[in-house]
Amino acid sequence: MLKEKLKADLEAAMKAQDRDRVSCIRMALSAIKYKEVALNQDLDDQEVAKVLRSQIKQINESLEQFTRGGRQDLVANEEKNLETLKSYLPREMDEEAIRSIVKEVIAETGATKKEFGKVMKLAMAKVAGQADGKIVSAIVTSLLQ
């Protein structure tokens, strides 16, 4: 399980005295625990991955803010955190693979410009967390034009 791997890696990072990695993994485990308490159940790997993607999204937003603010020290730290969290998720699809999935969905549904939401829903289900929603959205928009 992904959660167990995080716990094992936390222990290894603590033994190696890697403070940055320890902090990042603790943050992720905390977010997972928070979600488990909110749902009153243990999370499966897919739900844990969803929490990690949410954490990655927050880090990307922080990176933008820190970059605009000229805080290179914080940018470097957030980039390390981003790299750490991404290592627990499956590799993201490239744009060509996403584009072919979106084309396939549009062909199956015969969607028009007005059915953007329908195409997005089906495309996001097919990419199953292996692509950023913004990229999928941009591709859907360009293909429905």
Average pLDDT, the chain: 89
How many Cβ atoms sit within 10 Å of the Cβ of residue 12? Answer: 13
The CA-atom distances, in angstroms, between 66 and each of 3, 21, 118, 121 are 29, 20, 35, 32
Secondary structure E strands in 57-137: none
pLDDT category of residue 111 using cuts at 50, 70 and 90: confident
Q: What is the CATH number of domain 95-144?
A: 1.10.10.410
* The domains spanning 2-86 and 95-144 adopt the same CATH topology: no
Q: Which CATH number is 2-86 given?
A: 1.10.1510.10
**What integer is the mean pLDDT of 119-133?**
81
Per-residue pLDDT at 10 exceeds 90: yes
Residues 98 and 135 sit within 8 Å (Cβ to Cβ): yes
Mean pLDDT, rounded, for 49-76: 92
User: How many CB atoms sit inside 10 A of residue 132's CB?
Assistant: 17
First CA to last CA distance, the chain: 42
Euclidean distance between CA atoms 79 and 85, whole angstroms: 10
Mean pLDDT of 24-44: 94
112 has pLDDT over 80: no
pLDDT at 30: 96
pLDDT of the residue at 50: 87
The C-alpha atoms of residue 127 and residue 132 are separated, in whole angstroms, by: 9
pLDDT band at 85 (very low <50, low <70, confident <90, very high): very high
Percent of the chain with pLDDT over 90: 49
Q: Where are the domains of the chain?
A: 2-86, 95-144
What does the pLDDT average to over 4-22?
A: 95
Tell me how far apart the alpha carbons of residues 141 and 145 are, in angstroms, rounded to a whole number: 6
Q: Which amino acid appears at position 47 of this protein?
A: E
Position of tokens 């089906």?
122
35 close to 43: Cβ distance less than 8 angstroms? yes
